[in-house]
Chain A
Amino acid sequence: MNDRDKSGAPKREAVLARLLGPVGPELGCEECFAELDRYVELNLAGSDPDGHVPGMRAHLEGCPACAEDFRSLKALLESELERVERE
């Protein structure tokens, strides 16, 4: 997340987003973890993950730790896909 300007100060929008969190309903961390594998596979398949798992995107916007877990699982599956396609 590029949330700092050239001087290193955090950007206004980033500070507000982190302080105030997402708008609307969101999952909790336990629900997020339970749905993470399905959500990532749907995301990679382009199969409307947010329609299938409502509240997930909002939680990922609000929870830095769960957002990192999402990015990690997505990156791992992408790296496996690249490996399979190379072979």
Chain B
Amino acid sequence: MTTLATPQHMAVNTLNPMLPYWAEIIRIQPEAPGISTYWLRFLDSAVRQGFSFRPGQFNMVQVPGYGEAAISISSDPADRELIGHTIRHTGNVTQAISRMKVGDVLGVRGPFGTHWPIEQHPGADLVLGTGGIGLPPLRPVIYHIIRHRHDFGRVVLLYGARTPRDLQFQREFAEWEKGGIETMITVDRADESWQGLVGVVPILFYHLRVDPRKSVVLTCGPEIMIRFVVFEALARRIPSNRIYVSLERNMRCGLGMCGHCQLGPYFVCKDGPVFNFELLEPYVNLENL
């Protein structure tokens, strides 16, 4: 039976949970145009040693003077030294991060939220459906699966990006394949170099035969993609309580106190970001909830 590392300590000051801890940028790895992975190391050695997270959780990352953003952790949960955040530079905070260099410090608190609960499904076939910046939150679970490969049946990664240039972690695909993860990659718009599939992620289900009795779906990406991945999964009779989705909402605290991330009765920061789809089912088809 798989057990995921239980967080022993969070880098959260219980007396003042809004106070971040300083973390230094150790390495910056460009992944795709506008997307880089930032490898962070807590300055405080006690925090560094205590910090652990589960795949799917996120940190609140802060740039002094600019603000704070919820960013999922994209690195291997077994790496207790460095924490990886794969960031698309799109907002105020993430653009400020794009101007930072190795040696600069960021404020970090976390980890927050729920994880991909694959330990509840030993022996299951796993389908990871993801697109765009939805891959980084799933990357820790890929590491975990590779390390505990015998705990699961067939594992397939369905991944899509707009263009071949936008595919992240391409250098790791071979390693993932070697680790026993089938990867099916698609792009929305191909270029002359592209030999692979073209189209959106949900259509990859048509290249796949899933066994609905033993499949578990994990999906993260643009909400429209999530909707259709779930649709295809349900169409293949995978029960909604074996589908997990990770959602993005505006967040200020990560503590369930600022109100921003509400979705129906849930706070995405603490009841999510990873939800069992059964819980979301009453709300997903409502516009603008």
Q: A and B: real partners?
A: no
The chain B residues found within 8 Å of chain A, CB to CB, are none
